């Protein structure tokens, strides 16, 4: 898979809904119900971060949910790439990018949404062929104003900002011409997931699906 093909696919996925849920799953038994709740609420693209022992099992469970597209987040190494793909991930998300990681995703035909926080990082990825990027950590890196400023000289790059974004700030990003969607964890509160309160999560997802800039 070429960088251009990877970016075309991640751009397609990012265009399916204004919010991609960023999920930290502690109990894989909750994964399928969580995925169904989010998909039912209008958020089909799901990012499961590889930060817990349950993450790969959760990806495998979510991959079976009709209408959902599950990917792996916090992908850092070639080993992560292989494990994520084997579990059923259809895309990968990284907080940054290294040559080894980029090569691993390209070789595995796993579309990558690589992270960038500066103009130089974005330019390096563009030089390789990636023009759909993750802006991370969004709020800590200056928020929507910073992303707008980066976009001025680099209009050919589109972003999915992630990191500290809330329902109150999401619209600021979505209003930018270089932002296609945002990543957010607020649609799956820890207490709701632990309680299996899928109705609450579906409601939060439905509200997030209706966001616009």
Q: How far apart are CA 27 and CA 16, in angstroms?
A: 27
- From 9, 47, 85, 106, the catalytic residue: 47
- What tokens appear for 25 in the block? 């799953």
What residues contact 50, with CB distance under 8 A and at least 6 apart?
A: 56, 72, 73, 74, 75, 76, 80, 83, 84
Phi first, then psi: give them for residue 19, nearest 5 degrees.
-130, 135
- From 9, 30, 106, 134, the catalytic residue: 134
134 is catalytic: yes
145 is catalytic: no
Q: Does residue 137 contact residue 174 with C-beta atoms inside 8 Å? A: no
Catalytic residues: 47, 134
């Amino acid at each position: 898979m070429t960088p251009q093909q990877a970016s075309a696919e991640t751009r397609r996925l990012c265009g399916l809904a204004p919010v991609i849920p960023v999920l930290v799953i502690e109990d894989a038994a909750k994964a399928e119900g969580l995925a169904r709740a989010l998909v039912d609420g209008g958020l089909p693209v799901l990012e499961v971060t590889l930060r817990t022992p349950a993450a790969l099992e959760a990806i495998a469970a979510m991959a079976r949910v009709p209408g959902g597209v599950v990917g792996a987040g916090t992908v850092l190494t070639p080993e992560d790439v292989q494990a994520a793909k084997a579990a059923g991930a259809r895309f990968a998300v990284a907080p940054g990018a290294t040559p080894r990681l980029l090569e691993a995703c390209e070789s595995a035909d796993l579309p990558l949404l690589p992270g960038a926080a500066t103009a130089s990082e974005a330019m390096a990825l563009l030089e390789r062929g990636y023009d759909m990027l993750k802006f991370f950590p969004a709020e800590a890196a200056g928020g929507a104003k910073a992303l707008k400023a980066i976009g001025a000289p680099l209009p050919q790059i589109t972003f999915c900002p992630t990191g500290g974004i809330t329902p109150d700030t999401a619209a600021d990003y979505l209003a930018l011409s270089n932002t296609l969607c945002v990543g957010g964890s607020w649609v799956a509160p820890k207490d709701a997931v632990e309680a299996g309160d899928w109705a609450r999560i579906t409601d939060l997802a439905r509200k997030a699906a209706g966001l616009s800039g």
